[in-house]
Structure 1
Amino acid sequence: MLSALIVGGVTVPAAAEAPVGAKITAIPDSGSRPVADGIPTLPYGSLSTPRSVALTPQAQLLAQYTAAELELSVLSARRSELQQEYSNALIAKAMADYAWRQTADALREARKAAEAAAIAAYQGSVKGPAGLDDSLGELGLLIPRAHSTPETESALADLSRAQVEERTAYVALTEAITAEQKTSAAYSAIEKEYKRKETAFLELKRRVAEAQSEADRQRELQEQNLGDYDAGQSNAGLIAAPKARQAVMHALSQRGKPYKWGDEGPNTYDCSGLMYWSYGKAGIRLNRVAKDQYYGTRAKPVAKSALLPGDLLFFATNPNDWRTIHHVGMYLGNGKMVHARTTGDVVKIAPVSMSSVDFATRVVDALPAPQSTPTATASASATPRPTASSSPSASSSPSSSPSASSSPTPQGGGSPEPEPAESASPVAQESTSPKASPQPSPSPSPAPAAG
């Protein structure tokens, strides 16, 4: 069959590869592409078209409120930074002005000294009779002089150095004034922007408060109710240190006091001011600003699963950059924290989602949680002693009479010579002594066993 095909020849398909060396004049037809005629059908149904879920007016308002709150927090942190920069610029300008005035005074003194040295050298080089300068008066100053003295050279060198120092100080003062003006303008601009955003935020807050349902109000009340709160609760085998627990209780004592940016108590607070005041009352001084509080405690980071009361929770716009931290709260345990939230709010307790926490640190090292170990009984530690008699008073019995339970030991019975080994219960002797009587007495003696 194969030979017949070879001899007879076969028809080459149109799509077959062209012979080697053949000239290609056109691209082979690849056919038409399939056209979708609807949603693809799957074995267990079909793909649904994505649809956007319409938000309720209250949800939209809440989303606007949350976005405005975040923006205001970022602006507040930036305003705090610029305020610090402006204060530093004012100090730098004052120091530069003082330094320039010192060099300007030194320059004036150097000029006077140089002029005096030049006049002395000029007059001292005149070759004439004594008293000639006095007779010439001011005309003596016009007599040309040939050479300068070492004193003149020294005075001129001092003058040149004073001129350089004054010019350098003046340039530094000019730069300080420029920096102060620049930071002042930036601070004024962000202050204006903050006030505008704050006004809009407060209006949103008012609208949210009006739209808040009674159930939300009840939930808020429930969040503020700690019940029998214990700051010494344990986690991961640790408990908070006493100073951390003190800081927690101090922070909780400030609930209801208004938020005010830049304040650190005792009547109003911002977020980092509350942390600063609470730990200060416990005898620990923190840095003042939220991101500086993180930087000061960064050596003691805490996993979110190992948080204890008193730990600091930080929130940032960039979770990979601590310099973008804009808010801080103090962890209470059970998924709650106490914080001073924002303008128009008060110091209060709030639930915290661990996914929203970007950094967490511990101010004071925690302590090991106390372990509840069972207390060893006297019967477990007593040394069994073999008995030489099988009398009922020395025999072991798994049961005891009511009278024996009222006097379990020789000490309780008033024996003048108590022995711990003899005060072991009959049950302990039965379970530990290899020489106990094989026939227990049905009615043991009520008196303690005697040696």
Structure 2
Amino acid sequence: MRTTVSKRRSGRNRRQGQVALGSAVLSALIAGGIAIPAAADPPVGSNITAIPDPGARPQPEGLPALPLGSLSQPRTQPTTAQALLLAQYSAAELELSVLAARRSELYQTYANAIVAKALADFAWRATADDLRTAKQEAEAAAVAAYQGAVKAPPQLGNSLDELEQLIPHTDAPPHTEAALADLARARQDERQAYTVLTAAIDAEHQASSAYSAVETEFKRKEVAFLELKRRLAELQSEADRLRELEQENLGSYDAGQSNAGLVAHPKAREAVMFALSQRGKPYRWGDEGPNTYDCSGLMLASYLSAGVRLNRVAKDQYYGTRHKTVSKNALLPGDLLFYATDPSDWRTIHHVAMYLGNGRVVQARTTGDVVRISTVNLGSVDFATRVVDALPAPNQPAPTRTSTPTQTASPRPPASSSPPPASSSPSASSSPSPKPSQSPSPASPVPSNTPPPVPDPA
């Protein structure tokens, strides 16, 4: 036992000595700058005798997370050439519609700036004329004051700039002071008017630049959109064309259809019929008829034909009728449907259509299209308003009178089935004067085939 322990200790001491010797040699080699041959290193993995246990790999839960948020759900991509082109067309149509609304807004701003500049120019010219007149009156008053003070001859020069150095330093007459005060006031008014004119000119230049930029972008997008429309028309099948023709066929259309117990006002019906009469006329931005329309121009002309004036731009048409919002379940012909890029902000409205009923609208959609009837997806409508208050629907069923229900009337039993105590009295049955019980009241009708009940004895 003691010998075995001694052998173990001697072997451990020998290994420790070898390790210490090797470390010392290695340190000396490194310090001396001698490179160690690569062949002296053991091959990587030479001491591995078994594959380590891989363990249980964690299973992902849901979509992988990114540093800035999770991945969105993948969307189904169009599979056919027509579907792909239709998706591009829809995106381009939306973008063009938003640009058209922006262009319309900037055009109105530009038009307002032109009017403001014209008014400011007119006001400035008026103040300039007043200033010129005030100068002439001040010069005449100064000349008269000087002549009165020094008895100068009348042919002396009448320039105010020259006479100011010759006038004696004495108190000016009252009329001269008034003329000088008018001159100072006219000069101040002219300066203020010129400042307003300068600001109006700058605003007009800015509005013109903004409108020109959007106009250029709109025309560029419009060319691309029309090309997409042409290519889509080439791919459109005969079934699609037949479906569009069927959609355009109104049949026996009635603008007086009711919903929620109401019908459209006659003025709203008149506007609907006018809009339908414009079908087939081309879309053209900024036009209000009679030959071409844009979306809000068609609404404006339709209601104007019924004697109701709307605002010009789609979002302004919503703002003007915002107090008469309508539920999508209670729409009537003539109601206005609005589309916006942000459903929570009416200022982003870019398109308007007129509801016809039965899930259809009449609208002037976009460039390259015509006034047409379209099927509407109410889920895509962001706002709906009513221009003219609706009326109660005629021929509504009257409420049933609870005092005389017809279903509860039942024949009264004959007198013989339950005779009263005095049923055998001849005076009760042969009385010449009619008793009240012989003429039944409306509250308790008695069938004609049933004998009248015997009255109770008095």
TM-score (norm 1): 0.70
SS in 1 for 2:448: helix
Aligned-pair CA distance for 1:106: 1.1
Map of 1:147 onto structure 2: 170
Q: CA deviation at 1:215?
A: 2.3
- Structure 2 partner of 1:430: 449
Counterpart for residue 264 of structure 2: 240
Match of 2:291 in 1: 267
Closer, same or farther in 2 for the Cα pair 1:66/1:224, shift >3 Å?
same
- Asked whether 1:55 is paired with 2:78, we answer yes
Match of 2:363 among 322, 336, 339: 339
Q: Does 1:169 align with 2:193?
A: yes
- How far, CA to CA, are the matches of 1:136 and 1:37 in structure 2? 112
Match of 1:372 in 2: 397
- Give the match's secondary structure for 1:125: helix
Residues in 1 aligned to 2:121 and 2:232: alpha-carbon distance in whole angstroms? 52
How many residues align? The count is 359
Secondary structure of the corresponding residue to residue 350 of structure 2 = strand
Matched letter for residue 57 of structure 2:
A
Taking structure 1 as reference, are residues 155 and 373 closer, same or farther at Cα in structure 2, changes over 3 Å only? closer
**TM-aligned CA deviation for residue 249 of structure 1:** 1.9
Q: State the 1:303 CA deviation.
A: 0.6
Q: From the superposition, tell whether residues 36 and 123 of structure 1 become closer, same or farther in structure 2 (CA, over 3 Å).
A: farther
Offset from partner CA, 1:28-59 (integer Å, 9 cap, x none): xxxxxx86355679xxxxxxx97664422322
Residues 314 and 432 (structure 1), Cα distance of their counterparts in 2 relative to 1, 3 Å cut: farther
| CA distance 1:195–1:143, change in 2 (3 Å) | closer
Equivalence for 1:305: 329
Structure 1 stretches of 5 or more lacking a match?
Answer: 1-33, 42-48, 127-131, 381-385, 391-419, 437-451
Cα deviation, residue 435, structure 1: 5.6
Q: Does 1:36 align with 2:36?
A: no
1:210-225 to structure 2, matched below 5 A, reads 210-225=234-249
Q: 1:160 to 1:226 in 2, by over 3 A?
A: same
User: Any residues of structure 2 matched to 1:333-412 within 5 Å, and which?
Assistant: 333-369=357-393, 370-373=395-398
Alignment of 1:433-444 (within 5 A): 433-434=452-453
Q: Distance in 2 between matches of 1:432 and 1:244?
A: 59
Q: Is the 8 A contact 2:147 2:153 kept in 1?
A: no
Task: Note the C-alpha offset of 1:366.
Answer: 1.3
1:229 pairs with one of 247, 253, 260: 253
Residues 270-285 of structure 1 aligned to structure 2 (within 5 Å): 270-285=294-309
Amino acid paired to 1:307: L
1:121–1:148 contact (8 Å) kept in structure 2: no
Identity over aligned pairs, percent: 66
Counterpart amino acid of 1:36? R
Residue 146 (structure 1) shift = 3.0
1:89 counterpart residue number? 113
Cα 1:259/1:431, change in 2 over 3 Å: farther
d(CA) in 2 for partners of 1:191 and 1:37?
A: 56
SS in structure 2 of the partner of residue 428 of structure 1: coil
Provide closer, same or farther for how the CA distance between residues 55 and 121 of structure 1 changes in structure 2, counting only shifts above 3 A: same
Distance 1:371 1:162, change over 3 A: same
1:176-191 map, 5 Å: 176-191=200-215
**Greater gyration radius:** 2
SS in structure 1 at match of 2:363: strand
